[in-house]
Amino acid sequence: MSLCFNLAEVIVSSKVNVSDYKLVAAANSAIMDTVGVTLLGAHSSATNAVLKAIETKSDGGGTLVFGRKLRTNALDAAMINGTASHALDFDDCNNTMGGHPTVPILAGLLANAETRGATGAEFVSAYAIGVETICAMAKVLNFHHYEKGWHPTTTLGIFGAVAANSRLQSLDAEKTATALAIATSMASGIKANFGTFTKPYHVGQCNRNGLLAVRMAEAGLTASPDAFESEQGFFEVYNGHGNYMAERLLENWGDPFEIVDPGIAVKIHPCCGSTHPAVDAAIALKREHKLELSDIELVESWTHPRRFKHTNRPVVHTGFDGKFSVQYVVARALQNGKISLSDFNNESVNQPEIKNFLSTKIKAKSHPKAKSTDKNIYFAELFITTKDGRKLTLFVDAPVGRDKDHPLPENALINKFYDCCQGALQKGSEVELAAMFHHLHEIPSINQISEFIENASIE
């Protein structure tokens, strides 16, 4: 049998126990967090550009476009909501995949679930299978795939989108395998576009294409059964000979599910996750030593080379570019003791004090002791020399919220969700919506979520 079929068989047959508290709590929390950042990103410049470009029109009884009193066809909604979910780079991460596990799945899966009137239990089960599939692909291809310049959130995420939607539609293994094979010709996204609105568009396109691949397979479109392992297949073309391990595809599948261990990493800073350990170090040193920018002579930031390569931006051109500059976010953390959404507009990145600090006071580089074989690549070490001669240093082995050993502060997740809903939903409705997500696996129809959001929307 082909690898597409082998993967399809476990997608179709795997049991997801929606009575397992750890699994459903992890899934419900991740889905809630992603809906929150989608509402927050619904009116972003990236989302508005996609909405304008595809000339979306309301068709009355279609699928909800978040943050608007607008319903449209499922494929357009998947693209728009998918872009919105990643527009602020505030969505969750996963250590196995080296990217964002929920956003490549959720918008398309919500659109599909609305169309089909799926139950909450069906939705949670499909989501868990989707994340597991992304991580299965990552075990085969990463981290060469990541370092080569692909954006794994979407190049690998599309297979999670296919898996989740195939599962929701109860496709058999043959049709699911075909959908996976179709998706090999639809996977896209390069890291050169980080720091621009095309990065969140990657996610919008991924959601649309994942759902479309499933619909195409169901409608009878054919694809090569060996689209993964062929000499000119996905593994060879995207990674190259000798740079992948196909035998790892089903390694430890569902034992436990990835959403349980290593789990879903929740962001508390609205910027690239690769910058977060350095941000955490800067915040801690500022608070401990009561630092002001004017006290500092020099800052040196060392992060893992895999994390540093796409965040080494000593000169920041736009607010969105600032989300991917370790130099800029460290400077902001030292200035304010936190990172806020307001830090990422064009006016903020051109603030004279910050521009001067970036050009004269901060240096960043790959950590000299880091190796490509390191299992932990989410660390940072910060060195600060003050004008009065103090030498301050702090090593952070992983950012807050990254894994079970670095948990979020109490109530951080729910408070983040409430904050994300401000300006998008009527005041007070965020509490009721959060309660719905807490019991997502028990609701009779996912349409209850979309209808509530639509009715509570301010616009």
Q: What is the model's pLDDT at position 372?
A: 81
What is the phi-psi region of residue 406: left when phi exceeds 0, alpha when psi lies from -120 to 50, beta otherwise?
beta
Question: Which one, of 449, 442, 343, 354, lies nearest residue 39 by Cα?
Answer: 449
Q: What is the model's pLDDT at position 373?
A: 84
Beta sheet of 362-366, edge-to-edge order: 362-366, 296-303, 380-386, 391-396
Question: Which one, of 121, 89, 155, 148, lies nearest residue 15 by Cα?
Answer: 121
> pLDDT by residue (tens digit) across 228-243?
999 999 999 999 999 9
> pLDDT by residue (tens digit) across 115-171?
999 999 999 999 999 999 999 999 999 999 999 999 999 999 999 999 999 999 999
Q: Which two tokens stand for residue 150?
A: 């692909």
Q: How far is CA 129 from CA 99, 106, 135, 269, in A?
A: 17, 12, 10, 27
Cis peptide before 357 (omega within 30 of 0): no
* Res. 284: pLDDT tops 90: yes
Asked whether the beta carbons of 70 and 123 are under 8 A apart, the reply is: no
CA 329 distance to own-chain centroid:
19
Asked whether the beta carbons of 64 and 454 are under 8 A apart, the reply is: yes
The owner of tokens 């702090």 is 394
Instruction: Mark 96-111 as b/e (b = at least 16 C-beta within 10 Å).
Output: bbbbbbbbbbbbbbbb
Secondary structure element (H or E) that encloses residue 65, with its range: strand 63-65
* Rounded Cα gap, residues 37 and 202, in angstroms: 16
pLDDT-based confidence at 340, cuts 50/70/90?
A: very high
Question: What's the full length of the chain, in residues?
Answer: 459
Helix, strand, coil percent content, the chain, rounded in steps of 5: 55, 10, 35
* Rounded Cα gap, residues 419 and 413, in angstroms: 10
Domain 273-396 homologous superfamily, CATH: 2-methylcitrate dehydratase PrpD (3.30.1330.120)
Q: What is the model's pLDDT at position 459?
A: 80
CB atoms within 10 A of CB 41: 27
> pLDDT by residue (tens digit) across 375-394?
888 999 999 999 999 999 99
Asked whether the beta carbons of 201 and 195 are under 8 A apart, the reply is: no
CA 96 distance to own-chain centroid:
13
CB atoms within 10 A of CB 356: 12
- Tell me where in the chain the CATH 3.30.1330.120 domain(s) lie: 273-396
Range in 342-346, 381-385, 400-404 with the lowest mean pLDDT: 400-404
pLDDT-based confidence at 405, cuts 50/70/90?
A: confident
- Read off the pTM: 0.95
Q: Which CATH number fits domain 3-263: 1.10.3660.10, 3.90.600.10, 3.40.50.261, 1.10.4100.10?
A: 1.10.4100.10
- Tell me where in the chain the CATH 1.10.4100.10 domain(s) lie: 3-263
Q: What is the model's pLDDT at position 222?
A: 98
Question: Which one, of 111, 128, 286, lies nearest residue 206 by Cα?
Answer: 111
